Structures are given as structure tokens and as C-alpha cells.
Amino acid sequence: MTTDALKIYPIKGGEVGRARLAVLAGVLAPTTEQHLDRAGPLAGLKVVDVGCGGGDVTFALARRVGPKGQVIGIDLDEEKLGWARAEAQAQGLSHVRFETCDVTQAWPVIGADLVYARFILTHLRDPGALLARAMEALKPGAMILVEDIDIAGRFSYPENAAVSAAADLYIALSQKRGGDPLIGRRLDFLLEEAGFRHVETTVVQPFSRQGGAKDVAALTFAAIGDGLKAEGLASAEEIARIAREIDDFNDRPDTVVSMPRIFQPWGRKG
Ligand SMILES: C[S@@+](CC[C@H](N)C(=O)[O-])C[C@H]1O[C@@H](n2cnc3c(N)ncnc32)[C@H](O)[C@@H]1O
């Protein structure tokens, strides 16, 4: 983590953050791939993955554009970008590059055929700034695909106090840091305000009886513990208790935990 922009990011970076993103990527792969299909064939095109993190979707995009295309992943977290670059090299993906960039400031790319942004707008004080930069980066008529959360739409079966408390604490921390953990429900308005045309939205919500969304819920709570303590939202004892109760609940085969409700809007530069 390098600049003030990342001080608002509520989720721990480093290896814990990277491991969480890898689990998240597995759970979301089917619905993200469906969303990417909306862009049509991408072979040979130039694509930007905004707030790319460890590059999980960047690599999916790289497979779609093929060696004659280009994918640029941009993020502020140097550590995650370092891992992403090493992974690109290991996979022999010379048409992928990762650039350090505050995504609310000027981007190191113009003339893009597609901008993709997953789980980044929720963390920004000014999500409109990212969308304005996307407008600048895109070619006329080109598409933006967004995925972001509305955590108030999450559920468990049966209802569980610890799982609910973790979600409430996530909401409190994100809001305290200037983010919007419910941003999903207003994304299509944000895209329209930024000038995107033909905006449409769909909603997806993976859930699991074993692993998957259950693991994401536990890992996310583990990754916000430091932030909760720093902001005085929960004590170390409360955090440890909630984490233990989430693990006990997740271990039961007769329970279900969902991801947040995920909105997937898309639109075009007019
Ligand atoms: C939840 S992760 C999502 C990563 C990736 N899009 C994915 O879905 O796997 C959010 C990412 O946004 C990055 N981020 C947060 N604020 C940022 C900013 N102002 N500029 C650039 N990146 C930022 C974080 O470093 C983190 O990698």
C-alpha cells in the first residue's frame, strides 16, 4: 500500500489480501465470465482492468484478447502488482502489463476498446472520478463493464448473529473510510451521470453450503480486523469471538452463506 488513496481501502493487503482475492476469483469466475461475454469477441483488442489487484480477471481478459491484443491492469497496491507481474511472466503473457496508478487520476492508457472494473468503485470516495477517467480512456462507442457490491443484500440460512455482525461491521468500516458498501444499487445512475449510454444492469449472487462464499465471508472478516480495531469499531476480543462463530457456522453442512448481492452494469461511451 503506497499512498493516501489506499489508506481508505478497508481490506488488508499483502499476502492475506492476495489469498482472499484468489478465493474470491474462484467463486466469481462463472458470473464474471458471463459478464465479460457481453463485450463480444475481444481478440486483438486493447482492454483495461481497473483496480486489478492480483490480476485474476486481467488474466481472464488476456486469454480473451489473445497475443495480438493488449491488457493493462492498473492498481495502487505495489505488492499485488508485483505478484501479478510475476504471474504474467510465469504464464508467458507478454501482452499483459501492470501499471501503478491511482484510478481516480489520469490513466496510462488511451484508445481502449473495453474498460472492466470489479469491486473498486465501492472503495472510492469519488467513484465518478474513476468513471470520468474511463470515459477519457475509451474509444467512442466502446464499452465499460462494472461489477460491484451491495452488501446489505447478503443472506445466510439460517440467520446467524456472527455472520450478520461481520457484515454490519464491514458496512460501518467501509462507510467510515469514505466508501459505499451498498454502491451496487446505484451503479447504473453513476454510469449515466458519467455520460455512458445504453446502460443496462443485471444482478448475480453466488452462495455456498461448503467452501466458496463461506470462505470469502470468513476471509473478508479476517482481512478487516486491523481496520476495525484502528477505527475503534470492535475490540480484539469481539473480533476473535465473531471469527470463531463464523467458522463454527461455516463448518455446519446444514447452513448457507451468500456473497453480497453483485450488480453488473454495462454501457457505452456515446
Ligand atoms: C477488492 S480489490 C478487487 C481486485 C480485482 N478487481 C478483483 O476483482 O479481483 C480492490 C482493489 O482496488 C485497489 N484500489 C483501491 N483504491 C484504489 C485507488 N484509488 N487506485 C487504484 N487502486 C485502488 C486495491 O489496491 C485493490 O487491489
- State what percent of residues in the chain have pLDDT above 90: 91
Instruction: Report the pocket of ligand 1 as residue ranges, CB < 6 Å.
Output: 5-6, 9, 21, 24-25, 51-53, 56-57, 75-77, 80, 102-104, 118-120, 123-124
64-73 mean pLDDT = 98
- Please give the pLDDT value at position 24: 92
**DSSP conformation letters of 32-45:** HHHHHHTT---TT-
- State what percent of residues in the chain have pLDDT above 70: 97
Confidence of residue 95 (pLDDT cuts 50, 70, 90): very high
Confidence of residue 20 (pLDDT cuts 50, 70, 90): confident
Q: Is it the case that residue 6 has pLDDT exceeding 60? A: no
Distance 102 CA to ligand 1 centre (A): 10
Lowest mean pLDDT among 74-83, 163-172, 235-244: 74-83
Distance 120 CA to ligand 1 centre (A): 5
Lowest mean pLDDT among 7-16, 165-174, 187-196: 7-16
Buried b (16+ CB within 10 A) or exposed e, 40-67: eebeebbbbbbbbbbbbbbbbbbebbee
Out of 8, 123, 216, 259, mutate this one to test ligand 1's pocket (max ligand atoms within 8 Å of CB): namely 123
Radius of gyration of the chain (CA): 18
- Please give the pLDDT value at position 32: 98
Confidence of residue 2 (pLDDT cuts 50, 70, 90): very low
Let me know: does 213 contact 206? Beta carbons within 8 Å. Answer: yes
* pLDDT one-digit tens code per residue, 107-147: 999 999 999 999 999 999 999 999 999 999 999 999 999 99
Q: Is it the case that residue 1 has pLDDT exceeding 50? A: no
Block residue for cell numbers 463448518 = 251
Alpha-carbon distance of 211 to 13, in angstroms, equals: 22
pLDDT, the chain, mean: 95
Query: Which residue ranges form the domains of the chain, and what is each CATH number?
Result: 4-153+180-208+260-269 (3.40.50.150)
54-78 mean pLDDT = 96
Q: Is it the case that residue 86 has pLDDT exceeding 80? A: yes
pTM (predicted TM-score):
0.95
Q: Quick one: DSSP state of residue 106?
A: -
* pLDDT one-digit tens code per residue, 187-235: 999 999 999 999 999 999 999 999 999 999 999 999 999 999 999 999 9
179-190 mean pLDDT = 98
Alpha-carbon distance of 233 to 218, in angstroms, equals: 18
Q: Beta strand pairing status for 207-208 and 138-150?
A: unpaired
Q: Which tops the pLDDT comparison, 224 or 1?
A: 224
Distance 2 CA to ligand 1 centre (A): 13
Confidence of residue 243 (pLDDT cuts 50, 70, 90): very high
82-103 mean pLDDT = 95
